[in-house]
Chain A
Amino acid sequence: MTEIASAPTTTRVVDARGSYCPGPLMELIRAIRESQPGQVLAVYSSDSGSRTDIPKWVAKAGHRLVGVTARDGYDEIVVEKTH
């Protein structure tokens, strides 16, 4: 599945493969806290729950979901920090 709103350059990769829910979400939250508005983060997650959890969190937190892409054995979820 690919949902691309636009394709900004990823500035940070959060490799949470092998981590289980809510690990990938918590890793993303930590990275968001450390990032600046406008930065784009790509989360790699092998936990299928991230495909729904992370977009829900992104919506609640008011950031922008750039896309969710199925890769080989994991999902790449790209998020832009907006504020």
Chain B
Amino acid sequence: MDRILILGGGVGGTLTANLLCRKLRRRVKAGEVTITVVDATGLHTYQPGFMYIAMGGEQASHLERPERGLLDALVTLVVGEVEGIHEETRTVRLTDGQQLRYDHLVIATGSRIAPEEIDHFGSEAHHFYTAEAALELRRALDAFRGGRVVIGIAGMPYKCPPAPLEVAFLIEAELRERGLREASELDFCSPIGRAFTIESVSDMATPILAEKGIELHTFFNVEAIDPDRHVVQSLEGEELPYDLLILVPPHHGQRFLMESGFAPAPGGWLPTDRETLQVGGRPNVYALGDATDLPLSKAGSTAHFEAPVVTERIAAVIDGREVDHRVGDYHGRVMCFFEIGDGKGTLLRFDYDHPPRPPKPNQLWHLGKIVFNKTYWHTVPRGRV
């Protein structure tokens, strides 16, 4: 019997489980293959919606559904927290003492945020990487009556790379609508030498920042927050005063991956083959989504395009056949929408060899993002798109 164990019930884990079930249905029904998903909460969260709690009237209750309802009935769901992976015995240990054996392991455990790594982050800075934090940011925006808004990135890599720029654009538009723009200044701080990691996107976003009067500060790596002076300081020696501070918190891979010897500290990102998605040369361990160290967006879209690759590779081994390279090789495909504000958006579509060429922002791409968000539950996790 082949035991497939999938760690994580996010986009990558859920979609991989469902695609495997579809591809290996006969074997699963015959008891030759088992597919098990382990998830810490048993709830599937649509994380791209968090930004809209802060910016667009979204509610947290709309962004969570029971994982069980999204999985094929033939997939077993285990709700529990992973404590470690024991490679020699091919066993995953949960904190409640359960031991789960595997023949094929898929690691889709995402990333974790670590705002505590920056002193005073919790009391001074806002973010939108949890539903609660996004709601707090919404409240702070509601109470804002003008002043200096500083938006920055306190660690790379981080989830959903366009998000801080989107937030800057959306806040600028909101302040204009509320008649507060004249009384406000906006600063956008980038840790690198341009507004965005990908040059073509940076070339698109930089003039929009200028047009909207948002000051761009490059090479601003957040080092400290001075709560007494309300100032954020960079490693490079700059200081920016703020009335409202919004920072992307530092991100890491899951601790148990470092403790189990799968991912190096301090990042905790899994060393992943860019084409096969195998982890550290192990033939039966795969990673997808945020958990990898691939030079790509940490985004649900990445996991969405990686899941068919992992599925094909595992299915090929179980079927005892060659991998179909048309679907079993990953070429770095990612696609995501990018909000510009004022009801406009654009689209980023790229792979390892082809950088994005974002179309001129328009209403269509903004609406595309809204429709995608609303229909997500019926499409992506179930493998319908």
A17 to B176, CA, bound (A): 45
Chain A residue with Cβ nearest B352: A20
Q: Is B193 an interface residue (CB 8 A)?
A: yes
Q: Is B156 an interface residue (CB 8 A)?
A: yes
Determine the chain A residues whose CB is within 8 A of the CB of B266 once the complex forms: 30
Residue-by-residue, is A21-35 near B (CB-CB < 8 Å gives 1, otherwise 0)?
111011001101100
Contact B192 A53 (CB under 8 A): yes
Q: Which of B193, B221, B295 contacts A29 (CB 8 A)?
A: B221
Determine the chain B residues whose CB is within 8 A of the CB of A26 once the complex forms: 156, 191
Q: Is A56 an interface residue (CB 8 A)?
A: yes
Q: Is B219 an interface residue (CB 8 A)?
A: yes
Contact B197 A21 (CB under 8 A): yes
A22 to B236, CA, bound (A): 16
Q: Is A4 an interface residue (CB 8 A)?
A: no
Q: Is B235 an interface residue (CB 8 A)?
A: yes
CB-contacts of B71-125 with A (<8 A): none
- Size of interface on A: residues with Cβ below 8 Å to B: 17
Contact B192 A22 (CB under 8 A): yes
Q: Is A62 an interface residue (CB 8 A)?
A: yes
Determine the chain B residues whose CB is within 8 A of the CB of A56 once the complex forms: 193, 219
A30 to B235, CA, bound (A): 11
Chain B residue with Cβ nearest A20: B295
Contact A61 B197 (CB under 8 A): no
CB-contacts of B300-317 with A (<8 A): none
Determine the chain B residues whose CB is within 8 A of the CB of A32 once the complex forms: 235
Determine the chain B residues whose CB is within 8 A of the CB of A30 once the complex forms: 266
Contact A22 B219 (CB under 8 A): no
Report 23 cross-chain contacts, Cβ distance below 8 Å, ordered by A residue. Answer: A20-B295, A21-B192, A22-B156, A22-B191, A22-B192, A23-B295, A26-B156, A29-B191, A29-B221, A29-B235, A30-B266, A32-B235, A33-B235, A57-B193, A57-B219, A57-B236, A60-B218, A60-B219, A60-B236, A61-B219, A61-B235, A61-B236, A61-B237
